Amino acid sequence: MKIFVCVKQIPDPNTVESKLDPATKRLVRTGVSLVLDPGDETTIAAAIKLRDSLGNSELTAISMGPASAQEALRRALAMGVDRAILISDSALAGSDVLGTARTLAAALKRENPDLIFCSTESTDGYTGMVPGAIAEFLGLPQLTFAREINVEGTKAVIKRVTQTGYEVVESPLPAVVTIASGSFEAIYPTMKGIMSARKKPFSQLSLSDLGLDPSQVGEAGAREQVLSIGKAEARAAGQIIKDEGNAAEIIADFLQRHQLL
Amino acid sequence: MDFSLTEEQKLIQQTVRQFVERELMPLEHEVLRNEGRYPTGIEPERYRALQLKAKELGFWGINTPEEYGGANLGSVMTALIQMELGRTIVPFSFGGSVDNILLHYSNEKQKQEYVIPVIEGKRISCFALTEPGAGSDPSAIRTTAVKDGNHWVINGQKVFITHGNEADFAMVFAVTDREKPPQRGGVTCFLVDRAMGWTSRPIPTMGGWSPAELFFDNVRVPEDHVLGEVGQGFSLGMQWIGQGRWLIAARAVGTAERLLQMAIDYARQRVTFGKPIAERQAIQWMLADSAVEIQATKWLTLHAAWKADQKQDNRYEASLAKLYGSNMVNRVVDRALQIHGGMGYTKELPIERWYRDVRVTRIYEGTDEIQHYIIARALLKGYVHLGTWD
Ligand SMILES: Cc1cc2nc3c(=O)[nH]c(=O)nc-3n(C[C@H](O)[C@H](O)[C@H](O)COP(=O)(O)OP(=O)(O)OC[C@H]3O[C@@H](n4cnc5c(N)ncnc54)[C@H](O)[C@@H]3O)c2cc1C
Pocket of ligand 1 (CB under 6 A): B 127-130, 135-136, 160-162, 205, 211, 360, 363-364, 367, 369-370
Contacts of A40 in chain B (CB under 8 A): none
The SS3 of residue B42 is: coil
Least CB–CB distance from B11: residue in A14, A78, A186: A78
B259 and B376 fall within a common domain: yes
CATH (domain of B249): 1.20.140.10
B306 and B363 fall within a common domain: yes
C-alpha A247 – ligand 1 centre gap (Å): 69
Pocket test of ligand 1: the residue of B99, B101, B136, B166 to mutate, having most ligand atoms within 8 Å of its CB, is: B136
B303 and B372 fall within a common domain: yes
B156 and B206 fall within a common domain: yes
| B22 touches A: beta carbon within 8 Å | yes
Segment A203-222 shows an average pLDDT of 91
What are the CA-CA distances from residue B224 to residues B106, B154, B228 (Å)?
A: 10, 14, 10
Among chain A residues, the shortest Cα distance to B58 is held by: A191
Per the prediction, chain A carries an average pLDDT of 90
pLDDT in tens, B338-384: 999 999 999 999 999 999 999 999 999 999 999 999 999 999 999 99
Contacts of A48 in chain B (CB under 8 A): none
Flag whether B55 is in a domain: yes
Q: Measured between alpha carbons, how far is B253 from B255 in angstroms, rounded to an integer?
A: 6
**C-beta atoms surrounding A206 within 10 Å:** 13
| B21 touches A: beta carbon within 8 Å | yes
Flag whether B253 is in a domain: yes
Question: B interface mutation test: which of A15, A77, A194 has the most B CBs within 10 A?
Answer: A194
| A52 touches B: beta carbon within 8 Å | no
Contacts of A195 in chain B (CB under 8 A): 8
C-alpha A14 – ligand 1 centre gap (Å): 41
Residue pair B65/B52 in contact (Cβ under 8 Å)? The answer is no
Flag whether B110 is in a domain: no
CATH (domain of B128): 2.40.110.10
Higher pLDDT, B294 or A239: B294
Q: What is the pLDDT of residue A33?
A: 84
Q: What is the pLDDT of residue A116?
A: 97
B188 and B75 fall within a common domain: no
Residue pair B58/B69 in contact (Cβ under 8 Å)? The answer is no
| B145 touches A: beta carbon within 8 Å | no
pLDDT in tens, B247-288: 999 999 999 999 999 999 999 999 999 999 999 999 999 999
B354 and B262 fall within a common domain: yes
pLDDT in tens, B281-328: 999 999 999 999 999 999 999 999 999 999 999 999 999 999 999 999
Flag whether B107 is in a domain: no
pLDDT tier, B233 (very low <50, low <70, confident <90, very high otherwise): very high
CB-CB under 8 Å, B7 with A198: yes
Q: What is the pLDDT of residue A229?
A: 83
Flag whether B111 is in a domain: no
C-alpha B363 – ligand 1 centre gap (Å): 6
Among chain A residues, the shortest Cα distance to B70 is held by: A191
| B10 touches A: beta carbon within 8 Å | yes
B80 and B136 fall within a common domain: no
Please name the residues in contact with A96: beta carbons below 8 A apart, sequence gap of 6 or more.
A221, A222, A223, A224
Q: What is the pLDDT of residue B133?
A: 96
Among chain B residues, the shortest Cα distance to A38 is held by: B18
Segment B91-112 shows an average pLDDT of 95
pLDDT tier, B204 (very low <50, low <70, confident <90, very high otherwise): very high
**C-beta atoms surrounding B271 within 10 Å:** 11
Q: Which residues pair with B174 in a beta bridge?
A: B188
pLDDT tier, A138 (very low <50, low <70, confident <90, very high otherwise): very high
Question: A interface mutation test: which of B4, B9, B11 has the most A CBs within 10 A?
Answer: B11
pLDDT at B40 over 90: no
Full 3-state SS string of B249-316: HHHHHHHHHHHHHHHHHHHHHCEECCEEHHHCHHHHHHHHHHHHHHHHHHHHHHHHHHHHHCCCCCHH
Cα dihedral A228/A229/A230/A233 (nearest 10): 100
CATH (domain of B90): 1.10.540.10
The residues of B carrying an active-site annotation are 365
Per the prediction, chain B carries an average pLDDT of 95
Contacts of B19 in chain A (CB under 8 A): 188
**Could you tell me the residue range of the domain that residue B44 belongs to?**
7-97
Segment B198-204 shows an average pLDDT of 96
Q: What is the pLDDT of residue B122?
A: 93
C-alpha B139 – ligand 1 centre gap (Å): 13
CB-CB under 8 Å, A186 with B22: yes
B321 and B353 fall within a common domain: yes
pLDDT tier, A242 (very low <50, low <70, confident <90, very high otherwise): confident
Q: What is the pLDDT of residue B50?
A: 96
To the nearest 10 degrees (0 to 180), the angle between helices B281-309 and B315-340 is: 160
pLDDT tier, A121 (very low <50, low <70, confident <90, very high otherwise): confident
Flag whether B75 is in a domain: yes
Q: What is the pLDDT of residue A235?
A: 76
Domain boundary (B97, B129, B164) is at: B97
pLDDT at A18 over 80: no
Amino acid at B155: N
Higher pLDDT, A145 or A18: A145
Amino acid at B233: G
B187 and B301 fall within a common domain: no
Beta strands in chain B (DSSP E): 125-128, 144-148, 151-161, 169-175, 187-193, 199-202, 212-222, 226-227, 271-272, 275-276
| B169 touches A: beta carbon within 8 Å | no
pLDDT at A232 over 90: no
B247 and B374 fall within a common domain: yes
Q: What are phi and psi of B163, to 5 degrees?
A: 65, 10
Segment B149-161 shows an average pLDDT of 98
Flag whether B390 is in a domain: no
| A74 touches B: beta carbon within 8 Å | yes
Q: What is the pLDDT of residue B70?
A: 92
Q: Measured between alpha carbons, how far is B218 from B197 in angstroms, rounded to an integer?
A: 8
pLDDT at B224 over 80: yes
Nearest-atom index, ligand 1, CA of B134: 26
Residue pair A52/A97 in contact (Cβ under 8 Å)? The answer is no
C-alpha B281 – ligand 1 centre gap (Å): 38
| B67 touches A: beta carbon within 8 Å | no
Instruction: State the smallest CA–CA distance between residue A7 and chain B in angstroms.
Output: 17
**Whole-model pTM?**
0.89
pLDDT at A84 over 90: yes
Percent of chain A with pLDDT over 90: 61
Q: What is the pLDDT of residue B127?
A: 97
Domain boundary (B180, B196, B227) is at: B227
pLDDT in tens, B11-31: 999 999 999 999 999 999 999
CB-CB under 8 Å, B14 with A195: no
Q: What is the pLDDT of residue B131?
A: 98
B125 and B184 fall within a common domain: yes
Q: Is B54 left (phi over 0), alpha (psi -120 to 50) or beta?
A: alpha
Domains of chain A: 2-221 (3.40.50.620)
B75 and B21 fall within a common domain: yes
Among chain B residues, the shortest Cα distance to A34 is held by: B14
pLDDT at B170 over 90: yes
The number of distinct structural domains making up chain B is 3
pLDDT at A256 over 90: no
Flag whether B233 is in a domain: no
